[in-house]
Structure 1
């Protein structure tokens, strides 16, 4: 038999086998019906399924379909992001009296440090979404489009805890953009494309599926609600788009799990619904992403707690504490309650609740399904803005103290949210530090909380400025850094 006829014969047999594999159950269920009736019923079901959003490919023609139309539509909206940081270089002989006596004060040329990542234009006006770690510390950010054009850009908003940043391209012309989709509509097994610039080789597209949803504790950042995909994501893909089959951005690629540095099929993306909320904040002119405030803290439900509460499995967010006169207290939420769902969406853990809250606008209301004293009940809670506190003034400390050059402000729920610090922390938080200042030389960092200086409790920025202005050669102070309390003694 000629090879062409043999191939056609085998293809026909395979097609009949596939058809019979689907028809056989229908025939087995009712042997009284003929094969023609069962086949007609199956074809009708297949046609009805094909009109839905999801189905497996059937037949040789569908297997040969291409992703090229999607890439052509979305590819121009994926850009390269070049971030550069100018860093002052301190001479190793600086402040050396002997060296400066003979050679004078030497200055070192600044060093420029560069990083490369990807981004997605999500608005024709030039709004670009990328990762925070791509532009961290950058003094200049440039965006290069797929057609070879290059533009300067401005950082409108950045959030380290979410690992997201919003840029605005300098330019009046409309830019190619990709729409943001609904990440809550994703299901495990959905086909996706990852588009970015891995290793700086140029725009690259890889394909895969959604491997898992709502991944937490992957060690990337504080955000705990990632989309997992097996589409190849490599260094340089950070900030690129995860695209669904409708040509919508349903995630921003942010990290991979790898011991070698290359992709092994475990990549993570930030859901587009979270991205949409951050983009809207940038459009509204805010320089940081503000989350709704509910006035409560939550923790995981352990198997022991679930058993004690009569739950069939450990799930939900256990209410640890409730702030008096806060939105949660007004709604009737109490310590020991377990939040099981929000607006109908199940809550598996506190990170899921945090994600659901963050994607809702401030000023709106949310419906919580709560297990309280063995009974489920519905609570309506107001999603308010975090309170500022009694003193919200920001001060730059001057003089020659170890705090000179630091911008500080008294702790408040709103500042704690802005800096991603504990809401119950007390003291004065460091917002920013001048890199050439005494504060930077002595190791003071943003997000440090100054609690005490030379025996004086620090509760306002004005108090820290007053104590820092004293004429002292010895400095004893207590700092809370990431929950770890440190006591320092300096002679300066």
Structure 2
């Protein structure tokens, strides 16, 4: 009996296995629905063949328009910090500052054949002399046309013949992951090109400038790169390098988008300053705690924490404690965004302001004023922060 069962068991097991395979492979044969798992396969790509093996063309296209700056200013201090730096002594012992002078190193970009340069305000602030060194070996003294501490930009002018000029890219079209190159004069060693990618766009609330809309990149940026060029893979200018975290290259550098920088430059050349709209208010974020204290159901809006005397906001009737809900047609949800919105207005324009006061909605109309100039100051550190002010 056992031998008989044994002789029949193998064909039965084999038949069951075969039937299982058939059902799994062709379930519709037995009336079962076919189970489909659709996997997305990558399409054949030529990117490895089409991508550049060198960025030398991009670098050589832009590099002649990137210059080194050496600015000096008189100081009450007996010695500047950079004079005592071993790196400074190594590279600059042939031409050290004389007497009570402070040296500032940086870079700049030649924007036009007429000799207009863009750099950072913190590189040239309070400088008595600004020496420009071109890639072709020429040197000259630049004069300051104007500066804008709110964006940390400055415009210089040099008078030399046959000047190169950089070609402008489109900073509003860049994408995270795009290749980018930084050109400048780090630590005064000479013109240097570093490569990275666009790490992020629209960075703000860093406490670096009043108006912030930074491009973030991991291209190495160090002391001396400030005011230099951030270019795309085709050698076109997309940003002005301006800041780093932790005092050295940590893969986190920031550049001012070229569209913003050009607007500032053109305004400085035309008017001697940047023309920005101004309301004259200080605001702070509506936190859950503040929303609860105002008996608000949500956290939409920003709180007016201060009003400048005789400013446009005060003349319109705005008061501390008001909750800003809308400025014009745009909701007021972030202090910096609202400040930038007002800054884009022209002085004399009208703007409707929707507020919540004592739990009741109220609509006011303000006449945009001209933002008063700010006093030059040392650039804030990345760790500092400030509330928005319009």
Q: Post-superposition shift, 1:79?
A: 0.9
Q: Distance in 2 between matches of 1:240 and 1:125?
A: 19
3-state SS in 2 of match to 1:80: strand
3-state SS in 2 of match to 1:123: coil
Q: Post-superposition shift, 1:71?
A: 1.9
- The answer to which structure, 1 or 2, has the higher relative contact order (CA under 8 A, 6+ apart) is 2
3-state SS in 2 of match to 1:277: helix
Equivalence for 2:184: 196
Q: Distance in 1 between matches of 2:202 and 2:53?
A: 30
Q: Post-superposition shift, 1:154?
A: 0.2
Q: Post-superposition shift, 1:251?
A: 2.2
Q: Note if 1:284 corresponds to 2:273.
A: no
Equivalence for 1:147: 136
Of 64, 74, 96, 2:62 maps to 74
CA contact (8 A) 1:368 1:380 kept: yes
Equivalence for 1:264: 250
Q: Distance in 2 between matches of 1:145 and 1:185?
A: 30
Q: What's the TM-score once normalised by structure 2's chain length?
A: 0.66
Equivalence for 1:418: 374
Equivalence for 2:4: none
TM-align CA RMSD: 4.2
Q: Write out per-residue CA displacement over residues 326-349 of structure 1, whole angstroms, 9 at most, x where no aligned residue.
A: 5557878775333568876x8763
Of 209, 214, 228, 1:240 maps to 228
CA contact (8 A) 1:316 1:350 kept: no
Q: Post-superposition shift, 1:121?
A: 1.3
Q: Note if 1:213 corresponds to 2:201.
A: yes
3-state SS in 2 of match to 1:235: coil
Q: Post-superposition shift, 1:129?
A: 1.1
Instruction: State how 1:368-379 maps to structure 2 within 5 Å.
Output: none
Q: Distance in 1 between matches of 2:285 and 2:253?
A: 25
Change (3 A) 1:87 1:371: closer
Aligned length: 321
3-state SS in 1 of match to 2:72: strand
CA contact (8 A) 2:324 2:332 kept: no
Change (3 A) 1:86 1:296: closer
Where does the alignment leave 5 or more consecutive residues of structure 2 unmatched? Answer: 1-35, 79-97, 379-390
Change (3 A) 1:256 1:176: same
Q: Note if 1:362 corresponds to 2:346.
A: yes
3-state SS in 1 of match to 2:227: coil
Q: Post-superposition shift, 1:236?
A: 0.9
Of 71, 83, 87, 1:83 maps to 71
Instruction: State how 1:81-480 maps to structure 2 within 5 Å.
Output: 81-87=69-75, 110-171=99-160, 173-218=161-206, 220-245=208-233, 247-258=235-246, 261-286=247-272, 288-305=273-290, 309-311=296-298, 317-321=302-306, 327-328=312-313, 336-338=322-324, 349-358=334-343, 360=344, 362-363=346-347, 365=349, 383-386=368-371, 414=372, 417-419=373-375
Q: Distance in 2 between matches of 1:68 and 1:325?
A: 56
Q: Post-superposition shift, 1:61?
A: 0.8
Where does the alignment leave 5 or more consecutive residues of structure 1 unmatched? Answer: 1-26, 32-37, 47-56, 91-108, 387-413, 422-444, 446-492
Q: Post-superposition shift, 1:185?
A: 4.1
Structure exhibiting the larger radius of gyration computed from Cα positions:
2
CA contact (8 A) 1:157 1:289 kept: no
CA contact (8 A) 2:116 2:158 kept: yes
Q: Post-superposition shift, 1:195?
A: 1.3
Q: Distance in 1 between matches of 2:362 and 2:174?
A: 28
Change (3 A) 1:190 1:376: farther
CA contact (8 A) 1:299 1:317 kept: yes
Q: Post-superposition shift, 1:230?
A: 1.2
Q: Distance in 2 between matches of 1:306 and 1:243?
A: 44
Q: Distance in 1 between matches of 2:234 and 2:329?
A: 26
Q: Distance in 2 between matches of 1:140 and 1:225?
A: 30
Q: Distance in 1 between matches of 2:174 and 2:288?
A: 29
Q: Distance in 2 between matches of 1:213 and 1:119?
A: 22
Q: Write out per-residue CA displacement over residues 36-77 of structure 1, whole angstroms, 9 at most, x where no aligned residue.
A: xx99xx97xx9xxxxxxxxxx854213444323322222221
Q: Post-superposition shift, 1:369?
A: 8.9
